[in-house]
Structure 1
């Protein structure tokens, strides 16, 4: 075996990979290589909060994946943007910082994943967090962590929406990341001093001069090198040259819920029959690779606002756009500081539901579709997603060529429970909109519209108009059963020298946006690795 080039090779400089690079290279003497397929994060729109409206469709920093046609979503396919840049999805996402429910992680532990209960993971959420929000319960939050966390700016329309939710029976909750998740309140967001706090800016920028850390961008991983029963390195393509890099201790796969199973399958690790059919030599028959795909399916409701208080009004004319830009340059405020949702609502659709099963994102603007120009009229949007989908999909390569995108099939609305919950959630959105606190703001419901009244009509609307909220997970599931891909210490079942640490290892999807949990996974994974080599 050739002499190793590094102790650890980390594949993917996204939310988890950046954390691993920081924490592992803090140990003197460990040589760490961080590989990223995309470029450095020099695009200025990455760092301006509202920039996600541009970066989510920018092919220079985005994998630009697309799903297969989904049978129960009117046969439509869906765009699935994934970050291809330093910081990964944390550089292009909507900035919402939401951890999930304590029950999510306790359930992981109940499935046999020792060390992953809420009590176990809370210290890692706290260690990562550098919150600048007044009044938070210090038992649940951190002040000194690398990741900037602030609160979305207050606004009268947002205040009215929180009040309407309370009138509809959903309690006000200023901290859904605290003692309980249920309720309505301003989102916590990953910004610091008005700038996006991506994993790259939080974890890589402060340590860029560490001599034992090498960050290599624009480098595509072609496959893992498997020798005997051990993963010993990676084969990469960089600037037209193919090279093999060796890891003395471990390869850490942090390429995300799409690319982690893709890389495994390209390397001969996965369901043996599928690999043989593609002419790939089977290194390890592991049927769970790429299976168990879960994502949050969302559907929007839009309203015509009876007062000119929305972002649509602020940017309708070029003079307004100039004013918005000048305000952001002055104090980092205004529409350019907005996340993908200013108010968050975590609610139960039915009395017999134990914990919130839907989430709303309230936004002070409206558009026909994501990434399109804002509507010409005053308007705002509420998107609603089911938090714990039962439907399961898969990610499977279709070619031995690493440049070919995999087949992605999320199977949205494949479960009757998912359909029922989406309809109940849309009804709850309407119930909030009907409250007195919003009476002076809503002149009409534009979508779904007054003609959609019966449950079957609402379900048809959800099927035809729903979309991904971009939270894929669970394709390299952690567990102790035969279908699991990694064990509770994130080591690949059946082969030495490889761990996986990203959203793909989640046994079940967290009941929230996924970025905060991915940061936590990186923190915990680094601790486990360092404990084993101390």
Structure 2
């Protein structure tokens, strides 16, 4: 549609992840649009992708996962932090923890207040509703017929119930919907599943769309550079099975490679900070200092416990009989731990308080992910004892990092430096979060299930000891964002219509454009953003055609 007549594709989407699958599906609804979707990874055929508990396998798979590592972070005692990112159709929505969370209304109102027209909560809510196929049906806050399937966790677990009641004892209300009028509360998460199977954006959006003759999907196709004519992007170079290829775009290239690889591709193509590009002898197409800056992530601190009762998923996974029972439960009923992934319950609450005991923020500042199993890290081998985990994370960290290419080689992973815990607020909030978890564990409802605290352990009590525990054990909860920030300021990379400042023919549509991190898991917000972007792209195309 509206191509220059010589390009075989109107739109090229780089990255078939949480955003890219949505864009490709929506834009190809118009048969006049010829769309190419490039994905560096393979098709999503592994059963471990579709089985919710398979997250523990794909998290470590070099086939379906980029398996990034950060640079040594001085704030984490020089540790490198493992950053898994999806490398298959569906991207990280094919390997994530399945939790459906939108964030707080205030997150989006803040984006709008920064000058990003059209991004207030009232304006983005229709796109959340449009994308969602919630088994509860339509309501003021939910959609029942969208492509992204969302389901309740069927069975109530004794440990999760104890956690919820323990949170209530600590002043947190019980909630049945973290995505309704208020996020605050403790309860069960809803998951992007249906009938015991994962619903990635590939499954929800591409399964039908890929049958269209105007949509071409290329897997094993890693983008290496943007093709530019002056300051206009006209195509993409990519490598597929060892061969270098070029695809041309008559309308636009849509960069949906995520918070690590979207800025990487821009920098490799001469769009980014002049000093970085010149240091690597990359010709500067456009000096855009914010490309790769403003990196934000949720740092998770995992508290693990030994349970007094043999009721945990550890107990089932550590015996052949237990494994067989789990498999039977899933095969016959599509239920049980295999159908719900790893984290079942959670909580959004205030942790950091002033000297008078009042919350320092108007909205919840921490999130819990509560799992009926325990391991040294998320997705790792479960402990040999009855165990469970409470993971806490600060929702709106102040710490900012950056993503910068190391070389001109597109296959060389970029430098990733998150600078976790680099501000007093972040340090104070994480320590307060650990103490909040301990308070719930010590509640009347939950203490009968706690045989011992394994980590941090009773020896860690003071502020400094708990902060050191955070430095030595903190890890990503898989939400890197912000590296192609939307806005009007000097460090912004895209405008409110997601067009790259100073360059024509390209938009960025993924979590990298978030100016500030949302208060919760990022998959649902990215799907919303892609739905909104698709409408914006079509609107701009109509206006261009009418001009």
**Contact 1:340/1:361, CA 8 A, preserved across alignment:** no
Aligned to 2:529: 521
Do structure 1's residue 99 and structure 2's residue 107 form an aligned pair? no
Aligned to 2:490: 482
Distance in 1 (CA, whole Å) between partners of 2:438 and 2:516 is 29
Distance in 2 (CA, whole Å) between partners of 1:84 and 1:373 is 22
Cα deviations across residues 466-517 of structure 1 (Å, max 9, x unaligned)? 1111100000000011110000000000011000000000000000010001
SS of the residue aligned with 1:445? strand
CA RMSD in angstroms comes to 1.1
Do structure 1's residue 439 and structure 2's residue 455 form an aligned pair? no
**Contact 1:96/1:340, CA 8 A, preserved across alignment:** no
Do structure 1's residue 63 and structure 2's residue 69 form an aligned pair? no
Do structure 1's residue 15 and structure 2's residue 18 form an aligned pair? yes
* TM-score, with structure 2 as normaliser: 0.96
Aligned partner of 1:325 among 324, 327, 352: 327
SS of the residue aligned with 1:293? coil
Aligned to 1:147: 148
Aligned partner of 2:418 among 407, 410, 416: 410
Aligned to 1:207: 209
Cα deviations across residues 200-231 of structure 1 (Å, max 9, x unaligned)? 00000022211111111100111001111211
Distance in 2 (CA, whole Å) between partners of 1:296 and 1:287 is 24
Shift of 1:240: 2.1
**Contact 1:313/1:378, CA 8 A, preserved across alignment:** yes
Do structure 1's residue 79 and structure 2's residue 82 form an aligned pair? yes
Do structure 1's residue 265 and structure 2's residue 267 form an aligned pair? yes
Distance in 2 (CA, whole Å) between partners of 1:366 and 1:240 is 41
Shift of 1:152: 2.2
Aligned to 1:316: 318
* TM-score, with structure 1 as normaliser: 0.98
Aligned to 2:42: 39
Aligned partner of 1:396 among 404, 424, 435: 404
Shift of 1:2: 8.7
Aligned to 1:113: 116
Moved over 4 A (4+): none
SS of the residue aligned with 1:72? helix
Cα deviations across residues 243-279 of structure 1 (Å, max 9, x unaligned)? 2211000000000000000000111110111111112
SS of the residue aligned with 1:178? coil
Aligned to 1:504: 512
Distance in 1 (CA, whole Å) between partners of 2:535 and 2:388 is 43
Do structure 1's residue 50 and structure 2's residue 53 form an aligned pair? yes
Shift of 1:292: 0.3
**Contact 1:95/1:339, CA 8 A, preserved across alignment:** yes
**Contact 2:77/2:471, CA 8 A, preserved across alignment:** yes
Distance in 1 (CA, whole Å) between partners of 2:380 and 2:90 is 25
Distance in 1 (CA, whole Å) between partners of 2:480 and 2:380 is 23
Aligned partner of 2:378 among 352, 364, 370: 370
**Contact 1:108/1:507, CA 8 A, preserved across alignment:** yes
Shift of 1:434: 0.9
SS of the residue aligned with 2:97? coil
The 5 A counterparts of 1:248-397 are 248-349=250-351, 350=353, 351-352=358-359, 353-397=361-405
Moved more, 305-314 or 9-18: 305-314
Distance in 1 (CA, whole Å) between partners of 2:447 and 2:439 is 12
Distance in 2 (CA, whole Å) between partners of 1:183 and 1:53 is 27
Aligned to 1:469: 477
Distance in 2 (CA, whole Å) between partners of 1:484 and 1:315 is 47
Aligned partner of 1:495 among 490, 493, 503: 503
Aligned to 1:457: 465
SS of the residue aligned with 2:300? strand
**Contact 1:168/1:432, CA 8 A, preserved across alignment:** yes
**Contact 2:303/2:454, CA 8 A, preserved across alignment:** yes
SS of the residue aligned with 2:384? coil
SS of the residue aligned with 2:103? coil
Shift of 1:340: 3.3
Shift of 1:527: 0.6
Cα deviations across residues 169-226 of structure 1 (Å, max 9, x unaligned)? 1110110100000000100110011100000000000222111111111001110011
SS of the residue aligned with 2:246? strand
Shift of 1:239: 2.2
Shift of 1:74: 1.3
